[in-house]
Structure 1
Amino acid sequence: MGKRILVIDDDEDILSILSIIFEEEGFEVIVKNTGVTANEVKLIGPDLILLDITIIGFSKSGDEICAEIKREMELTTIPVVLVSAEPDIHQRANSCGANSYLSKPFEINKLVEKVKEFIT
């Protein structure tokens, strides 16, 4: 199996679509419909994280999860790409230390290109 992508989004349809697309691209995909802690990220060991900002039913937002990941020394090298419809995604990506961001709705090809910029 190829590089591992962790996709965190509360929308099951997006999780399904991204799982299919990235598996076809040769990536191993782990999906979570709720947020994760830095310790869970350590256990999963992803090569890249795609992270929505709004995660219904989880105590932290995606940018808070991103900031937590980026504070952990052994996780700082994992690229985090925020993928969200939030209007202030640019500012939130900058403030949490995300490596990049993409606004929803997004073109699948642009998302695949973005991922491949970080892990190929």
Structure 2
Amino acid sequence: MAKTILIIDDDEDILEMLDIVFQDSGYEVILSKVSLEADFITVLHPDIVLLDVRIVGSPKTGVDICKELKTNAHTKHVPVILFSAEHDLHTIAAACEADSYIAKPFGIDNLLAHVRKQLS
């Protein structure tokens, strides 16, 4: 059974590219260009969540979503990878208890390696 990746980013080009990359790598992919509540994410049952830090036009940031996921008993076990061009991404990821982070722009092979590591 394929692992499911939930990707939340406001950039449609990034969503489209990641959808292709992860599907070609054998993953099920769920895309969202707006922030989602942790309770709704629970219903989706993702195996991992990739979150942009800034989600333009959404009431919540990726950091807000990450904090919700990591404090929710039903989702705290789900790995979260933040991806962003923020210069202090390591500090941001630590503050919201993300499992990993990757700076934009990122290499596809590096992102795939991060995902595989978190899912192993």
Instruction: Measure the CA separation in 2 of the matches of 1:63 and 1:88.
Output: 13
Counterpart residue type for residue 67 of structure 2: A
Instruction: Measure the CA separation in 2 of the matches of 1:7 and 1:56.
Output: 15
Residues 1:89 and 2:89 aligned together: yes
Deviations 1:38-80 (A, max 9, x none): 0111111100000000000111110111001101011111000
Aligned-residue sequence identity (percent) comes to 43
1:48 is matched with: 48
Scaled by the length of structure 1, what TM-score is found? 0.97
Scaled by the length of structure 2, what TM-score is found? 0.97
Counterpart residue type for residue 98 of structure 1: A
Q: CA RMSD in A?
A: 0.8
Structure 1 runs, 4 residues or longer, greater than 4 Å off: none
Range moving further from structure 2, 94-103 or 56-65: 56-65
Instruction: Measure the CA separation in 2 of the matches of 1:28 and 1:16.
Output: 14
Residues 1:26 and 2:26 aligned together: yes
1:117 is matched with: 117
Instruction: Measure the CA separation in 2 of the matches of 1:108 and 1:34.
Output: 23
